[in-house]
Amino acid sequence: MLTWLDPAPVNAQSLDELGIHPIVSRALTRRGFDSAGAARAFLEPGLYPVTPASELPDIEPALRRIWKALRQNERICVWGDFDVDGQTATTVLIQTLRAIGANVTYHIPIREKESHGVKIEYLKTEIDSGAQLILTCDTGISEHKAVEYANSRGVDVLITDHHDLPEGPLPSALAVINPKRLPESHPLATLAGVGVAYKLAEALLQNANTDLAPESLRDLAALGLVADVATLSGDTRYLVQRGLEQLRRNQRLGLQVMLELAGTNPLQLTETHIGFTLGPRLNAIGRLGDANPVVELLTTNDPAKARVLAAQLEGLNQERQLLTSQVTQAAQAQLRENPALLEQAALVLHHPDWPAGIIGIAASRLAERYQRPTLLLTGRDPVRGSARSVDGVHITEAIRACGQLLLGFGGHPMAAGLSLPAENLISLRRELSRAVESQLKTAARPPAELQIDEFLSLDELTLDLAAQIEQMAPFGAGNPPLLLATRNLELAASQKIGKTGEHIKLTVRDETGNVASALWWGGAEEEQPSGRFDLAYTLRASDFKGQKQLALELVDFRIVAKKPIEIESPKIETIDLRAAEKRTEALQRIQAEYPDALLFAEGNDRKRLNGKGRHELSEAETLILWTTPPERRLYESILETVKPRRLVLFAQDSGENSPEAFLARLAGVLKFVLNQREGRVSLAELGAACGQGEAAIRSGFEYLKASGQLAGESDAAGLTIRQANAPADEPARAQYLSQLTVLLNESQAYRSFFRGQKV
């Protein structure tokens, strides 16, 4: 369970001159931007002082060797990696070297055969085929033996990489360009593999006679940096900012086709689309096949070839999704069959036929679900596995403690890979759990905390606010999205979404009737909030069918104490006529006895009985409650407004409880508003006319819009409507009808409770 931390008070006056939203000012101040100049450079990439490539270690000898290879027409082999960072880094270097006239080829290892790195067997093949200079990208920093082999063949090696430096000496390459050799505070220190490749390309193109501009490669840099979850600070953030701008212009044919097949509008593209749309498709081919064709996809100008290659990625991505789901379900089945495994500090599960390229993704899902390090293994003998960890456990160090059982391993604090003889599997399960337990005992695990940036009400969530927050994007490691929260909500409706219904769309409602929708990714199997709860979420603007709308994404929720339902205050005299047989005659007698009484009546009865709706109330000594309010908060609001000393209960139904009857009533009222009110009406007026809650009014309005009958906008004050004659959006109609049905059923349930509650 996460502990929520309230936002710390800050003085953001130093940023006043920027003219930005106070929420953004406070967030920037909390993140260390205490001057307008520093904040402006963070927000506006045009003001950022770009760091020259010459500050990277060993870049000068690398440049000299590459230019020598060009002069002597030596064949250069670019050696990449099969993840998105490696694919894009390879493409950056290939496109650059081709542009300056190099004799160049490339090799991206096939995961199933070679795994990561530079294997001598395959390096020998490249050298035998004529490679005279090896240029690595996103790999090579620990490849001492491979570099020594190349040197023994008279072939120079230039390493560009970003992974952690090895213990002891670096490989004996002619140049080792790695930002990890820089101080941690250096603006180039967080570059991933494609970032290093880009800076090398930038330096090469600076003095080259070519039409290729370094700026045209920034889309690839952004793609690889975001997909590799690089820390978005310094030049890394700058490259992603500029790269996203270029991706939105969408000039690279292969990416155009990928976005088209994925149904993504490039004009609205953000780092989220890289992380969840482009990245997974590119990663899929690296996990399940041969990633070398990606370079062709990202450099081709042939539309037919681009479409064939992009379609291949689309198919592999669908296969990846299916396989990931199957492996995850199979792993959970093992846990159900053997619950004792859940008592271990680390989950270690094995199946000989699990796809090697998928087990890492599935392990990540299980680690998140069960909140403990997870190792999934495949194969028969030897067995190979991928591990994913949780905060507070350095999984590679835990695996290192089991080194005597392994054939090999490698990784970083949150992820690792290993291989071992099959006979050691049971021992590994025991020893790995012991190593994890030892870490948890000796090093205090950081508390599970959630830092809230701002608490807001639902009516404060606007497209303008989302646009202001978007100035801080791109979000990611080193620059997390602003975490907002709203207190005291209730769940109005929920709906499964996604191709397999794995996600949830929650409709939440506050105490004043404002509603909002929040997406809960992967929430279909989770327990939904009940009663009153606080919601933590991120906020962005999204584009749906050409219309801007708010997109809330659930991060967490916490249940708040339930408030008991009370029909009346003990200080109010109550006359209960809910069971009266001749109610109209009883009403006339009450009105004769209390001529100044205020009659609350809504729906059809409001006009028939000359009653008052929720928007027409005033203080009165006697309140006659003819219509049962559709929800508790409206009942409480009525009592608070009227402040009666005497309450007469009839508690009749408004009569519009089915979706069909309600929609017919609402459509008729809105037609009147169009003709007589110039299309503007408050939610309270509509609620009184229809006898339903404001959330139902909003859902009904959205249904009528999706039916093509109306157009318009909904805000905190009410509706602005226009006549329309558009084709129906059937999926949206079905969604809003489902939501409306839930809301009407809730109102009916509350009214039934109200009528039967003992006074």
Share of the chain above pLDDT 70, in %: 96
Rounded mean pLDDT of 356-375? Answer: 87
Which CA distances in Å does 698 have to 460, 682, 709? 17, 11, 15
pLDDT at residue 434 above 60?
yes
1-45 pLDDT per residue, tens: 678 999 988 888 899 899 899 999 999 999 999 899 999 999 999
Contacts of 544 (CB under 8 A, 6+ apart): none
Indicate the range of 25-34, 317-326, 445-454, 739-748 predicted with least confidence. Answer: 445-454
Q: Tell me what pLDDT residue 447 has.
A: 61
Q: Are 21 and 466 in contact (CB under 8 A)?
A: no
Share of the chain above pLDDT 90, in %: 47
pLDDT confidence tier of residue 173, bands split at 50, 70 and 90 = very high
Task: Give the architecture-level CATH label for domain 338-425.
Answer: Roll (3.10)
pLDDT at residue 497 above 80?
yes
201-258 pLDDT per residue, tens: 999 999 888 999 999 999 999 999 998 888 899 999 999 999 999 999 878 899 998 8
pLDDT at residue 563 above 60?
no
pLDDT confidence tier of residue 547, bands split at 50, 70 and 90 = low
Rounded mean pLDDT of 341-355? Answer: 88
Average per-residue pLDDT for the chain: 88
pLDDT at residue 530 above 90?
no
Q: Tell me what pLDDT residue 718 has.
A: 79
pLDDT confidence tier of residue 569, bands split at 50, 70 and 90 = very low
pTM: 0.72
pLDDT confidence tier of residue 568, bands split at 50, 70 and 90 = very low
Q: Tell me what pLDDT residue 522 has.
A: 79
Q: Tell me what pLDDT residue 285 has.
A: 84
Q: Tell me what pLDDT residue 220 has.
A: 96
pLDDT at residue 608 above 50?
yes
Handedness of CA 394, 396, 399, 403 (dihedral sign): negative
pLDDT at residue 573 above 80?
yes
Give dist(CA 644, CA 634) in Å, integer.
Answer: 15
Cis ω on the peptide bond leading into residue 382 (within 30° of 0)? yes
Q: Are 370 and 342 in contact (CB under 8 A)?
A: yes
Task: Give the architecture-level CATH label for domain 659-756.
Answer: Orthogonal Bundle (1.10)
Rounded mean pLDDT of 485-514? Answer: 85
pLDDT at residue 445 above 60?
no
Contacts of 585 (CB under 8 A, 6+ apart): none
What's the CATH code, domain 53-316?
Answer: 3.90.1640.30
Give dist(CA 408, CA 314) in Å, integer.
Answer: 34
Q: Tell me what pLDDT residue 56 has.
A: 97
Indicate the range of 168-182, 498-512, 622-636, 658-672 predicted with least confidence. Answer: 498-512
Question: Any idea what the Cα angle at residue 357 is, between residues 351 and 359, rounded to 5°?
Answer: 45
